[in-house]
Amino acid sequence: MSPLGKCVVFFLLSLAVVFSGLDLLRNNEKCVNESMDNSADFDNVGQVFFSCNLDGLQIEKDMWRDILIERNLKGKPVLVVWHSHLGCKTCNDFVFTQVEKKIGNNLPVLFIGTDYRSRNSTDSEVYLSPNESLGLSVEELKVPFMFVYDSEIRHLFVPDTRNEEAIDMYLDVVSMRYGLKEL
């Protein structure tokens, strides 16, 4: 196949992937799967189980409401990136780098970290004390995950360091859908 043919095929495949991602995010129907409960094992993809159980969930913690109010984020879409310092440092660093590289100032980002040490919070970083949590079952895995929060959880995503394209596509799509301006 000629170089031009390869470029055309690559372009068409890329478009198919992007449009598939956009179609998934446009689907606002609630995910219903009665057979799954919180005791199900985590699969490597993670999307099916956690999206079905958490999409549309409101975080009912007073401290969460205070965090959003203090940072003027209440009622606005915000990309929440959860991480644990007790988990995989390489995974955390990968996610931080990808988010900072792809999002910029297009969508407010709030990094929520659990840490056994006492850490000071900033406008974009919040460190929870060891006895605090958002109350989400996925936190128990100690791997980074992200979701859009606009009064409820939307599009939970558990990135995999082995698949940079998936996290890039996720960040592009949520940025286009919820961002302050077009990419």
CA distance 12 to 18: 10
The Cα 10–Cα 16 span in angstroms is 10
Q: What is the pLDDT of residue 148?
A: 92
Q: For 99-152, how does the pLDDT look when each residue is reduced to its tens digit (9 = 90+)? A: 988 887 778 999 998 876 767 777 888 888 878 889 888 888 888 999 999 889
Q: Please say whether the beta carbons of 99 and 138 come within 8 A.
A: no
**pTM, 2 dp:** 0.70
Residue 79 clears pLDDT 90, i.e. is over it? yes
Burial class (CB in 10 A: 0-12, 13-18, 19+), 162: exposed
**Which domains occur in the chain, in start order?**
45-178 (3.40.30)
